[in-house]
Amino acid sequence: MDLAFTEDEEGFRHRLRAWLADVLPTLPDRPHPADWPGRRAYDCGWQRMLHDAGYAGLHWPEDAGGQGATPTQHLIFLEETERAGAPYVGAGFVGLLHAGPTIAAEGTPEQRARWLPPILRGDEVWCQGFSEPDAGSDLASLRTRAVRDGDTYVVSGSKIWTSHAEIADWCELLVRTAPVNADTPKHRGITWLALPMDAPGVTVRSLRTLAGTAEFAEVFLDEVRVPVGHRVGEENDGWRVTMVTLSFERGTAFVGEVVACRRVLEALARTAKANGRWDDAVLRRRLGRLAAECAALWRLTQWNVSEAQRTGGVPGVGGSVFKLRFSQVRQELYEAAAEVLGPDALDAGQEWVADRLSSLSYTIAAGTSQIQRNIVAERILGLPKGR
C-alpha cells in the first residue's frame, strides 16, 4: 500500500496546476442554468481549452485520440480541476464518459474517426437515451422499436429523463430490434444506435426538475430513419455494449464531487463558527462524522482507482459500493447544511440550496440505490437471484 505519488505523477500535477492558474481567470462568467445555448457554448469552450492544452480524453486510449493517462493521473486531473474550481464536465459528460469510451471499445475504425475527435474537441455534444417511461430500473424491458428497412433502421418510441437532450447533437440510443418471446429473452433483442438529434421525427420536450430547472427532457421518436452504419456493435447485442457503457459511468464519474464534498463540509464548519452554531456539540459532532465519511469516500476512490490500474483500467465492482455510500453521504451533507444555516435553508436564491436539491437525484440517477444493492448482493456477495 503506497499513497505517495510518483515523481511523474507529481510532475503532472504541477504542470496541470500551473496551467489551471493561467487559464481559469480568462474564462467567461458561468451562464444561467436556464440559458441552454449559453451553457452549451460554455461547456464546449472549456472542453476546447482542455483539448488544445493536451488534456482532452486523458483516460482514453491513445489510438482513440486520448492521452492514454493512467487511472492515477486521471484521478489527479479530476482532483486538481475540482480543487481549482474549474468548470464541471457538464454537457460533455455523456460523450466523454459514456458514448466515447463505448465507441472507442466497440466501434469500427470509421465510427471512431467520425465520432471521437469532435467529442474530444468539444464540437459535438451527446446525450443518453436509455430510460423510457416504462423502462427505468428494468432497462431491458425497453420498447422503442427499430425496424430494418434496407440500410436504415426506422425508429419509433419515446425516451425519458434524457439529460442535456436540448443541446445534444447525438444520442446513444437503445432500441429493440427483436420482439420478446420464448427464444429471445428481453435483454437479447436490444441494439445500440447513434441517433442524430436533428433527424426528422425527433421531438424534444423539456421536463422541469424539482429544482425548477430544465435538466432533462422527453424525446419522442416518430419513424426516425437511422443509417445501419450508425449501429455500434452487432444487431441484438446492444445489452452487452450497454454494460460496457455503464461500467465507464461508475468508474471515476464522481471523483470531482468527492473533493467537493470535503470543500462544502469545510465551508459549512466555517459558517457554523461564524454564526455560533458551532457551540452546539451535537451539530459539531455530526459535522465531524461527515468528515470521516468524506475521508472514506476519498480512500474508497483511491482504492478503486488503484485496483483499476492494476487490472488494466477496467472499473471494478467497487463502483457500486462507492456509489451507495456516496449518494447517501452527499444527501446527509446537505441535511447538515440546512441545520447549520437555519432559515437560510429555505432561501432558494442561495447557491447551495440548488446543490441540496440536486443531491436528491443521486440515489436515483445512474441506477437507484435499491438496484445498486441488488447488484452488490447478487454479483459481489453471490446471493441467489432476487425476488
Partner 1 sequence: MDFQLTDDQRALRAGMRELLERRFPRTRLRAVVDGDAERGAELDRALWRELGAAGLFALRVPESAGGVGLGLPEAVLAFEEAGRALLPGPLVATELAAGLSGLWAAVGAVPGSSQAGLSGLAAGAVQGETVVTALDVEGARAPVEHLVSADAVLALGPVAVELIPAAEVACAAEPMRSVDPATPLHRTGPIRTRRDQAGPGRSGIAARLRREAALLTAAQQLGSASRTVELAVDHAKRRTQFGRPIGAFQAVQHLCAQMLVRAESSRSVVYAAAVTEDPGDIAAAKLLADEAAVHNARDCLQVHGGMGFTWEADVHLHLKRAWVRAGQWQCAAAAEEELAAGLVSTVERCL
Ligand X SMILES: Cc1cc2nc3c(=O)[nH]c(=O)nc-3n(C[C@H](O)[C@H](O)[C@H](O)COP(=O)(O)OP(=O)(O)OC[C@H]3O[C@@H](n4cnc5c(N)ncnc54)[C@H](O)[C@@H]3O)c2cc1C
Residues that bind ligand X (CB under 6 A): 127-131, 136-137, 161-163, 215-216, 361, 364-365, 367-368, 370-371, 374
**Residue 276: all three cell numbers together:** 455560533
Residue 72: its H or E element:
helix 71-83
In sign, the C-alpha dihedral spanning 301, 302, 306, 312 is positive
- Integer Cα distance of 384 and 376 in angstroms: 12
Distance CA 76, CA 92 (A): 19
Size of residue set near partner 1 by CB under 8 A:
61
Among 27, 53, 296, 354, binds partner 1 (CB under 8 A): 296
Torsion of CA 366, 370, 372, 373, to 10 degrees: 170
What is the C-alpha separation between 153 and 147, in angstroms, rounded? 5
DSSP H/E element including 216? strand 216-227
Rule CB under 8 A: which of 297-326 touch partner 1? 297-300, 302-303, 305-307, 309-310, 318, 321, 324-325
The least distance separating ligand X from the CB of residue 381, rounded to whole angstroms, comes to 16
Work out what residue 136 binds among partner 1, ligand X, none; the CB cut-off runs from 5 to 8 Å by kind.
ligand X
Site for partner 1 in 266-295 (CB under 8 A): 266, 269-270, 273, 278, 284-289, 291-295
Query: Which residue is catalytic, options 82, 124, 215, 249?
Result: 249
Q: Does 386 bind partner 1 (CB under 8 A)?
A: yes
Asked if 220 touches partner 1 (CB under 8 A), the answer is no
Strands 216-227 and 170-176: unpaired
**What's 275's DSSP letter?**
H
258 interacts with partner 1 by CB under 8 A: yes
Q: Least distance (Å) from partner 1 to the CB of residue 362? A: 15
- Specify whether 215 is catalytic: no
CA distance 337 to 383: 38
Binding site for partner 1 (CB under 8 A): 1-6, 9, 72, 75, 79, 258-259, 262, 265-266, 269-270, 273, 278, 284-289, 291-300, 302-303, 305-307, 309-310, 318, 321, 324-325, 370, 372-374, 376-378, 380-387
